[in-house]
Structure 1
């Protein structure tokens, strides 16, 4: 079951976490939140999303983020360590848009999909969603964060 929200002009699906963990991202489980960007045909929206995210590397780091970009059959790490990941498995497990269509999916530290968007999402919107998660709230209370 998912909830649909409209943030500005961005269609957002925020899931309730009832689905199974994403097996192909198991190495990140309980360590990092992963945002997977699926590049559009001309790369315009993916590049906009990527540049926007990288403008706040501190915010990404504070939230233990890894950002990956899938373009064609290539998985590239944009922020954080990406490792050797299978593009086909990621597309299937994350319910990716058709090849050549933009999309992004946020996977929480518990390994489940927390958010799917069909348009680039602002850092403020993304960080607000992450910051509203119980695990992130607990992290913010720790003195070392």
Structure 2
């Protein structure tokens, strides 16, 4: 299983595209974290990922998470509100796998990619990553969003 955790860099190279905001998800910037699931051909891994995440909807809500599933160019919100999104633009901006290959990305509230996985991740792993972020720590200390 391949996991790339992009969170935690002590010095950010502003010219590195990994730290540039994802333009196609700009409407969510500073409002929501976005978890994007790219469906595989038989949808088995995408369905497993979907089931993992949607098992605890209150935890998704607490973390201001929007969950999107992209199959081909079609974007379907699985949790949270998201309108008028272009699946092809999201795939291009995230430099995601080709159509038919599973991938999942966590985009932080700052609009940058925090996590990229090529296999489903458990909700516990995802929530631990989010909860370790400074912005999330500040939200927990100040719960009156």
Scaled by the length of structure 1, what TM-score is found? 0.90
Aligned match of 2:125? 125
What secondary structure sits across from 2:88 in the alignment? helix
- In structure 2, distance between residues paired with 1:143 and 1:101: 38
Aligned match of 1:92? 92
Aligned match of 1:14? 5
> 1:26-41 alignment to 2 at 5 Å?
26-41=26-41
| Structure 2 unaligned blocks of 5 or more | 13-18
What secondary structure sits across from 2:2 in the alignment? strand
| Structure 1 unaligned blocks of 5 or more | 1-9
C-alpha spacing 1:122/1:83, structure 2 compared with 1 (3 Å): same
Scaled by the length of structure 2, what TM-score is found? 0.90
What secondary structure sits across from 1:128 in the alignment? helix
RMSD across aligned C-alpha pairs, in angstroms?
A: 1.2
Greater fraction of residues in strand = 1
